[in-house]
Structure 1
Amino acid sequence: MAKSQPIIQNDPKGLIRFLNWIERTGNRIPHPFTVFLYLILFVLVASWIGSYLGLSSVHPGTGKELHIKSLLSTEGVHYILESTVDNFVKFKPLGLVLVMVLGIGLADKVGLFEATIKKVLLNAPKAAITYGVLFAAFIGHLASDAAYVIIPPLAAMVFRSFGRHPVAGLVTGIAGVGCGFTANIFIAGTDVLLSGITTEVAQAVNPNVQVTPIDNWYFMSLSVFVLTIAGAFITERIVEPRLGTYQGENSEPQMIELSPLVNKALRNAMVAALIYIGFLATVLFIPHSPLRGEDGGILTSPFMEGIIPIILCFFIVTGLAYGITTKKVTCTADVVKFMSDSIKDMSGFIVLAFIIAQFIAYLNWSNLTMWIAVSGSEMLKAVHLVGFPAILLFTFVAVIMALLITSGSALWSVLAPIFVPMLMLLNFHPAFIQVAYRVADSATNMITPLNPFVAVMLGFLARYDKKAGLGTHISLIFPYTVAFLVIWIIMLCLFGLLGIPVGPGVTMYLK
């Protein structure tokens, strides 16, 4: 049995000290639920102080003067007691996400996503295997956190079967799943969750603003192809040459081919998807279609407003086609079970959504959101930071915060109530602000030791080098983080300054 060699020698001490500082600092941050409890206490006190000082702001839309209202007053206590249930039940992201999970969860539980990923990797030609791993990783975001434990080890096995360094495959999979998180050619649960939070806070400034799950689709789908090319370049020109020839144990399990039944199920799922899309396109483009708007358009139409149930049905149709073929779905009770299991997996999100809903509602009711937004926008105007540099500054802040708060939804729930209204008053579209956040949060996903999946990745690394530690992991991932972040910022500049839509009808500025 050959002795494994260290993957990377002499990790830079400065980097390790920096990461140790992040870990020590981040470990002092409590669970997101507790963080929002503290934030609510802060809002209670801040609303009382603001009310006592007589602070107010002028609503930019209505011109009405809004005084800060104390949540600790009689009126405020009544509001807290009477609105708690409504705040939770009417929290837009809650319903949107749970509805999407019913469809995506069914497709995931029957094994459609895992089989699709394996199919992509197994059928990729040797010269394009790096591109195949990255592309599969981006598609794998449909499976949410499950992608972290499916794609990287599978990518390592694929690389090993082609005589390449398995760690290069592992790292490529980690980069695609983690550093490129939320980039996808499909609408995923993250799109639904973030757009719901964005809408919730944006309507404090303009009640007519609606951010939909497809408002970032152009940007994120293009990101898949751009980052696939960039990631493959980094793997083949930087990471893999640095790793050298793999000299570890030659006992990697062989790739398992998909069974004829699974291939048949995938074919049936593809046929079902094409039939569904074809039917939808036919209904959408017929004259006087009920899915079109009153003016015959699509951007403001029942199709766009009903995009969630439309996507839900897509995943149900494809999931059923796959599940029925593989006999994992034999009756309606199986469908109910798979959907129920998916909702159970969301229990942590449901609990967190309860406290986030209260936090945002209290900010809005007390008028602190508008006061912060108006004061912040006036400050940015005073220092002439009103154009694209304001978005870059926000992106930088989000990058720093993402190193310490690793839950993307929790961090956006903290930043959105402050920055979305503030930047909207500078005429930025809330969906564009959301894109800037996604860039910052995604690229840094896998370099913070606070991300629980970093520990999982270290376990995968240990299969090939028992001595590999956090510094090894970071030194391998860091080139992807820097490259993806720089590329995404360049894309932000191009989309914003050239007026290219990041989604249907969505440009950098509000119209």
Structure 2
Amino acid sequence: MSDIPTQPNKGFIAAIERTGNRLPDPVFIFIWLIGILMVVSLIASLAGLSAIHPVTGDPVDAKSLLSADNLRRLVTDMPTTFTHFHPLGYVLVVMLGAGVAERTGFLGAAMRAGVSNAPKMLLTPIVVAVGMIGNLAADAAYVVLIPLAGVIFAAAGRHPVAGIAAAFAGVSGGFSANLFPGQLDALLFGITEAGAEILDPEWNANIAGNWYLIMALFFVYLPVIWYVTDRQVEPRLGKWEGGTVADTDEPISGPLTDDERKGLIWGALTILAVIAVWVFLTIGPGTPLIDHDARPEARMTPFYQSLVAGFFFLFLLSGWVYGHITGVIANHRDLVRLMKESMSEMGYYLVLAFAAAHFVVMFVWSNLGLILAIDGAEFLRWTALPGPLLLAGLLILSGFINLFVGSASAKWALLAPILVPMLMLLGISPETATAAYRIGDSATNIITPLMVYFPLILIFCQRWDKEFGIGSLMAVMIPYSIWLMISGVIMIIAWTALNIPLGPGAMVDFTLTGR
């Protein structure tokens, strides 16, 4: 990365970069916060800090994490604290399958097929749409689609950097928009569940809890990114004079082979088969995914909870079929190897999850999260701000914090233990809080140099323009970020004001039992 040209170290964006680079790794942010939390809990306990539980009416007293009971619980429950961290199981299960679909090339081939023969007049919206759907593929979307978009734009006589920008905006700026739930939903709702259980131990995560909203965002973000690309970004870049990828003879893309096309067809049929099985399990004889003995509003809970397994089988089986047809998977040992490789790349997440799990559970032990939520909810109730405006504020807050801390899971693990129960006390559901957070988080992904793929996108641009620097990339992406943030704020205000369900079984409003 040493050959990447840089811009003068001045201005707001440069200040963001300098400040963010001084921050420790998110793992150590949690470690430092645990230390601070222990001191604060001791002071709060000595000061007699307390609140009244809104459901039971019992006093909630601050507990010192340095007490003998809590220190003993910290060291004796450490394995349980880690393994019972809600996002851990959700993410690892989904990634076991998604890793196979990615490593066999199934997801990459699907993206190439989606944009390679796009009509010139529809090139931008197709690239953006494939980018938003492709963020299900995580790394593959960045590594395959974004450079491919530059090649396709250049072949169409359009500026390749505009293609890269449109794809980057779709994949990363539109990270909260999709036609289907995916890895991000599993990750965020696992953390949401931990926050919601501070107030309501019976609350269970539903990874489809934002499905309707993210589908709507897909159709809102698509024309927004299309407009910004064709009317603002590309005219600013100027007319493309032609040329090839700078300083490389390495092909970035190529036509699909016969085996790849055949694999895509059979992979798609496999996806339909998995969906058919889930439909059968929901409406067929015995309906194992419906609990007929539960309350009417809880009868679909087994179905919602099964979606993690559903995505595991969907990714695993479609990737396996594609890999078998293309020759990437010759036998079951190859399949196991690909699953093992996908888990090996989760090493950093496991370390982060270990630190985050202890911060979250110690916050619960101290009762500080619940006390802050109760007192914070009372303050917000006193301000009489409408719920939609509160959520718009959360959206903007998450977007601002994202400029300095790139990890979506790390930020939500910090915010959820306070914000989720606080908003629940105000009658706003955990699904709604999650929706506001994720929209704000994704809107600023594309303008922070601390985003892990930002240097990679810069290199893709430099393949076409050697003089393209960090400042150039930020200048290109800022219009997208502004319009995505504005669109997101309007969406969350309108959606919550109209009380439209966020997903199957997920309403905007929330009522605590006993309130």
Shorter-chain TM-score bucket reads: over 0.9
Deviations 1:294-326 (A, max 9, x none): 069786242222221122111122111111111
User: Is 1:303 matched with 2:303?
Assistant: yes
1:186 aligned to which of 173, 177, 180? 180
Structure 2 gaps of 5+ residues are: 1-6
User: Is 1:39 matched with 2:37?
Assistant: no
Show the counterpart of 2:217. 223
Name which of structure 1's ranges 24-33 and 388-397 shifts more when overlaid on structure 2. 388-397
Show the counterpart of 1:280. 278
User: Is 1:315 matched with 2:315?
Assistant: yes
Deviations 1:34-66 (A, max 9, x none): 100111011100110011011111222222211
Name which of structure 1's ranges 468-477 and 354-363 shifts more when overlaid on structure 2. 468-477
Find the aligned partners of 1:250 and 1:117 in 2 and give their Cα distance.
22
The Cα shift of 1:187 comes to: 2.1
Preserved CA contact (<8 Å) 1:369 1:418: yes
Preserved CA contact (<8 Å) 1:429 1:510: yes
Report the secondary structure of 2:428's partner residue. coil
Preserved CA contact (<8 Å) 1:265 1:326: yes
Show the counterpart of 1:484. 484
Find the aligned partners of 1:93 and 1:272 in 2 and give their Cα distance.
27
User: Is 1:239 matched with 2:246?
Assistant: no
Find the aligned partners of 1:74 and 1:309 in 2 and give their Cα distance.
40
The Cα shift of 1:452 comes to: 2.8
1:133 aligned to which of 108, 124, 127? 127
Show the counterpart of 1:77. 71
**What TM-score do the two structures reach when normalised by structure 2?**
0.93
Preserved CA contact (<8 Å) 1:294 1:301: no
Report the secondary structure of 1:71's partner residue. coil
User: Is 1:56 matched with 2:54?
Assistant: no
Name which of structure 1's ranges 256-265 and 230-239 shifts more when overlaid on structure 2. 230-239
The Cα shift of 1:248 comes to: 5.4
The Cα shift of 1:144 comes to: 1.2
Show the counterpart of 1:421. 421
Report the secondary structure of 2:446's partner residue. coil
Report the secondary structure of 2:56's partner residue. coil
**What TM-score do the two structures reach when normalised by structure 1?**
0.94
Show the counterpart of 2:403. 403
The Cα shift of 1:387 comes to: 2.5
Show the counterpart of 1:375. 375
The Cα shift of 1:422 comes to: 1.2
Find the aligned partners of 2:64 and 2:281 in 1 and give their Cα distance.
51
Find the aligned partners of 1:456 and 1:217 in 2 and give their Cα distance.
30
Deviations 1:384-431 (A, max 9, x none): 235322212222221221111111111111111121111111111011
Deviations 1:168-208 (A, max 9, x none): 10111111112111322122111101000000111001112
Preserved CA contact (<8 Å) 1:105 1:339: yes
User: Is 1:20 matched with 2:14?
Assistant: yes
Preserved CA contact (<8 Å) 1:60 1:205: no
User: Is 1:116 matched with 2:116?
Assistant: no
Structure 1 gaps of 5+ residues are: 1-10
Name which of structure 1's ranges 110-119 and 161-170 shifts more when overlaid on structure 2. 161-170
Show the counterpart of 2:257. 259
Letter in 1 for 2:491: M
Show the counterpart of 1:176. 170
Show the counterpart of 1:87. 81
Find the aligned partners of 1:37 and 1:254 in 2 and give their Cα distance.
41
Report the secondary structure of 2:133's partner residue. helix
Find the aligned partners of 1:251 and 1:309 in 2 and give their Cα distance.
42
Find the aligned partners of 1:86 and 1:250 in 2 and give their Cα distance.
55
Find the aligned partners of 1:122 and 1:145 in 2 and give their Cα distance.
19
Find the aligned partners of 1:143 and 1:197 in 2 and give their Cα distance.
21
Preserved CA contact (<8 Å) 1:103 1:316: yes
The Cα shift of 1:73 comes to: 1.4
Find the aligned partners of 1:401 and 1:255 in 2 and give their Cα distance.
36
Find the aligned partners of 2:102 and 2:252 in 1 and give their Cα distance.
24
Find the aligned partners of 1:67 and 1:168 in 2 and give their Cα distance.
56
Report the secondary structure of 2:77's partner residue. helix
Preserved CA contact (<8 Å) 2:169 2:477: yes
Letter in 2 for 1:505: G
Report the secondary structure of 2:51's partner residue. strand
Preserved CA contact (<8 Å) 2:99 2:339: yes
Name which of structure 1's ranges 293-302 and 354-363 shifts more when overlaid on structure 2. 293-302
Find the aligned partners of 2:245 and 2:329 in 1 and give their Cα distance.
36
Find the aligned partners of 1:145 and 1:319 in 2 and give their Cα distance.
15
Name which of structure 1's ranges 241-250 and 374-383 shifts more when overlaid on structure 2. 241-250
Show the counterpart of 1:210. 204
1:106 aligned to which of 96, 100, 107? 100
Give the alignment's Cα RMSD to 1 decimal.
1.9
Report the secondary structure of 2:453's partner residue. helix
Show the counterpart of 1:5. none
Name which of structure 1's ranges 478-487 and 377-386 shifts more when overlaid on structure 2. 377-386
Letter in 1 for 2:271: A
The Cα shift of 1:112 comes to: 0.6
Find the aligned partners of 1:211 and 1:281 in 2 and give their Cα distance.
20
Name which of structure 1's ranges 468-477 and 144-153 shifts more when overlaid on structure 2. 144-153
Find the aligned partners of 1:258 and 1:371 in 2 and give their Cα distance.
58
Report the secondary structure of 2:447's partner residue. coil
Find the aligned partners of 1:464 and 1:82 in 2 and give their Cα distance.
56
Name which of structure 1's ranges 46-55 and 216-225 shifts more when overlaid on structure 2. 216-225
